[in-house]
Chains A and B, each alone.
Chain A
């Protein structure tokens, strides 16, 4: 199999993936500590005032200041969030690192799979499970889309190269050819998605809904009927047992 990146866009470095994992861990840890404090009877005012119970942070807050030791800003700074590049307190800031320069052109499937496996290994409750499958499973944070072609999901992409990989415009020489590939992939992909949506909505959705509701109705009706039949049989059986007992004991 080819080692070429099968798509455009950029995949961020593994350091970013690790930072994302660390942030999630910190968030979980802080949430759990606060939850435990509440269970132990602490009120909200005490929790807010307790320096050992910091609030869970969003990704941006974490990325700006992973150590949580402060993130000084400077009016003249051109850095994101006007962070002061000269301050020692900002040496940990993810938004000031040059990791972005380590990005891989295209979709690095292996890096993304590793990242997703790492996330899956951290799932330990239903909320995390839903969160993962509603978000990161489809749009992993470490893959940044940079053109319309990148928005077409693999299952709707029909353009492949000789190796069977997804056609990658960024590997094509020449502005016009590259733009043609990006545009073609995007337009055709969107067209297929739109066409399937149209056919799905106009042809299948009403019938499917009608059919599904009918099935649910039958299942619910059947379930109730079964439950009541079981109850009836149970009552009958009890009655028979009682009659048998009476016959034996003569009461």
Chain B
């Protein structure tokens, strides 16, 4: 039986990386996960025991009042009748009354839906290459867009109760695709309109119905958040702008490390090409002269 091979010793820098990775994987990540789970459980408990019952109670006020009205008996010609038997119009029955009271209290405002209408001025691919302009393929060069269509800072609009707000969309419209870090589910360019249609999964710790009533709109998608038409595209464009700017600044301040070798190598290449070409001509001339 042959002896087992000696353990493979990694060089020190790899050892540090490996140890660091193991520390994160075995200690830090589980601790963080436990902490997050604990916090989530605590918040869930608060939501289940305090917030949700309170919200349900508030939302239940109209139906409670409608129910109380239904319990109210009136004597007509010696007969005891239900209050709803003599009421009409908006208080015809318990259900109608509930809706009427909801309207009085503004509770029905939470059903107002925000519509997102896309503009037709955003191409699928935006390029800085002036020769790659091809509107038939929805490929536009930035220069062609600015030259032909002028500066267009908005695209489409949001609409709530008949009020339209143009969506500010310079990043979605002009940011070069080669630096755009978003992808739409259909493979197309991800724009502020895609962001607007992203669903809001959170229930705001159970307070979503109250928040919807206060805001006067259904918070079913990101585009329904107040003033989305103003900040939506900025939220989408700011991270890539910051990222590429940071990379540019990093490149600028580290240029003394990476630029000289490139310039030196390029200079050497040019010099070798020149010297080589000269030597080739010299060789040809020498051959012609000798022969």
**Which A residues form the contact surface with B (CB < 8 A)?**
5, 8-10, 12, 16, 59-60, 63-64, 78, 80-81, 94-95, 100, 103-106, 141-142, 144-151, 169-170, 175, 178-179, 181-183, 186, 198, 201-203, 205-206, 209-210, 212-214, 216-217, 220-221, 224-225, 228, 231-232
Tell me the bound Cα distance from A60 to B134 in angstroms.
Answer: 7
Chain B interfacial residues counted at CB < 8 A: 47
Question: Do B276 and A198 touch across chains, with their CB atoms under 8 A apart?
Answer: no
3 pairs of A and B residues whose beta carbons are closest in the complex: A213-B276, A105-B187, A224-B287
**Closest residue to B190 on the A side, CB-wise?**
A147
**Closest residue to A186 on the B side, CB-wise?**
B181
Return chain B residues, CB-CB under 8 Å to A5.
187
Q: How far is the CB of B44 from chain A (nearest CB, A)?
A: 21
Determine which residue in A8, A144, A231 has the highest number of CB atoms from chain B within 10 A of its CB, and name it. A144
B5-13, B19-27, B277-285 - interface stretch: B277-285
Return chain B residues, CB-CB under 8 Å to A10.
124, 186-188
Tell me the bound Cα distance from A81 to B177 in angstroms.
Answer: 22
B71-79, B96-104, B206-214, B258-266 - interface stretch: B258-266
Q: Answer yes or no: B185 CB below 8 A from chain A CBs.
A: yes
Given contacts A178-B185, A206-B272, contact A217 B279 (CB under 8 A): yes
Question: Do A100 and B181 touch across chains, with their CB atoms under 8 A apart?
Answer: no
Question: Do B177 and A220 touch across chains, with their CB atoms under 8 A apart?
Answer: no
B33-41, B45-53, B136-144 - interface stretch: B136-144
Question: Do A206 and B268 touch across chains, with their CB atoms under 8 A apart?
Answer: yes
**Closest residue to A206 on the B side, CB-wise?**
B268
Q: Answer yes or no: B31 CB below 8 A from chain A CBs.
A: no
Tell me the bound Cα distance from A151 to B128 in angstroms.
Answer: 13
Given contacts A144-B138, A220-B283, A221-B283, contact A8 B187 (CB under 8 A): yes
Tell me the bound Cα distance from A232 to B287 in angstroms.
Answer: 13
* Residue from A103, A141, A202 in contact with B262 in the complex, judged by beta carbons closer than 8 Å: A202
Q: Mark B249-274, 1 if CB is under 8 A from A, else 0.
A: 00000000010011011101100110
**Closest residue to B178 on the A side, CB-wise?**
A151
